[in-house]
Amino acid sequence: MPDPCTVLIASADLLPTLKPRAADGASELLAFSDADALRALEVITKRRPRLVTLERMFAATPRGAALIHRIKADPSLLESEIRVIAHDSDYSRVLPRQPGAGAAVVPKASAAPAAVAVAPLDQRGTRRAPRVRIAAKVEVMVDGNAATLVDLSAVGAQVVSAGALKPNQRIRIGLNDDAGNLRFNAAVAWAKFEIPPGSGPRYRAGLNFVDPDHAAIDAYCARHKA
């Protein structure tokens, strides 16, 4: 059974306005600012509240969209209702659980970093070279920070990084192994903020290479393909 409490998440300046509405009918109101979304997620996972209420503007941010996705994906939170309300109107909407539902609340690819509605380049039909799935735990360097390489082609890659990555961001990528070191420039084509179960927040991103050595990348793919 879900806890009869309500969790409210909104920007700090809007919490005083929204608390009376969110508290209506709740045995307990737990309010968090949008800056404390990760702490709110910890409470939601532990308490399994009857209702999670998000302010509409926060729900439309990448962090809000990732939080919604994380709650929907958790089987233990199936009985927790997700509601989006507006601070400046009577707008109130319960987000359904069906895949793809609630898209009106989640921003499209124009957001930076993009939210859960953003699909990788390959899924949008823009693949320019075959992608090779890379073996687990192969690390690359993105602007000097370690990132996990998911797949790779002669013209691009998909990576997962703890550091923030934003669409159109210019970066320097390094592919290092016992055979040598590859260094070249790249641009972030798409990015998605994630809050996976059991780990901290991360960014999944697709990269377009600017000046790659195609032959060297092909050889790297052959050495590290799954």
pLDDT in tens, 37-47: 888 998 999 99
User: Do 132 and 71 reside in the same domain of the chain?
Assistant: no
Helix (H, G, I), strand (E, B) or coil at 170: strand
111 located within any domain = no
DSSP 8-state secondary structure symbol assigned to residue 114: B
Our count of domains for the chain comes to: 2
* For residue 168, pLDDT beyond 60: yes
Helix (H, G, I), strand (E, B) or coil at 148: strand
User: Do 35 and 70 reside in the same domain of the chain?
Assistant: yes
User: Do 83 and 131 reside in the same domain of the chain?
Assistant: no
Average pLDDT rounded to a whole number, residues 100-110: 38
213 or 118, greater pLDDT: 213
User: Do 177 and 219 reside in the same domain of the chain?
Assistant: yes
pLDDT in tens, 120-133: 333 333 345 678 99
12 located within any domain = yes
The enclosing domain of 57 has a CATH number of 3.40.50
104 located within any domain = no
16 located within any domain = yes
The residue range of the domain holding 31 is 3-94
194 or 118, greater pLDDT: 194
User: Do 77 and 9 reside in the same domain of the chain?
Assistant: yes
User: Do 203 and 165 reside in the same domain of the chain?
Assistant: yes
| Chain mean pLDDT for the chain | 82
Distance of alpha carbon 122 from alpha carbon 115, whole angstroms: 17
Distance of alpha carbon 220 from alpha carbon 173, whole angstroms: 14
Would you state the torsion angle of the CA atoms of residues 10, 16, 18, 21, taken in this order, to the nearest 10 degrees?
150
User: Do 149 and 195 reside in the same domain of the chain?
Assistant: yes
* For residue 100, pLDDT beyond 70: no
- 145-152 and 180-194 strand pairing: unpaired
At residue 19, φ and ψ (nearest 5 deg) are -55, -45
pLDDT of residue 35: 87
115 located within any domain = no
The enclosing domain of 191 has a CATH number of 2.40.10.220
* For residue 176, pLDDT beyond 80: yes
pLDDT in tens, 133-154: 998 889 999 998 999 999 998 8
pLDDT of residue 129: 65
Average pLDDT rounded to a whole number, residues 91-113: 54
User: Do 82 and 29 reside in the same domain of the chain?
Assistant: yes
Distance of alpha carbon 225 from alpha carbon 215, whole angstroms: 15
pLDDT of residue 98: 61
Distances (CA, A) of 53 to 29, 113, 213: 10, 23, 50
pLDDT of residue 13: 92
pLDDT in tens, 52-92: 999 999 988 888 888 898 898 888 999 999 999 998 888 89
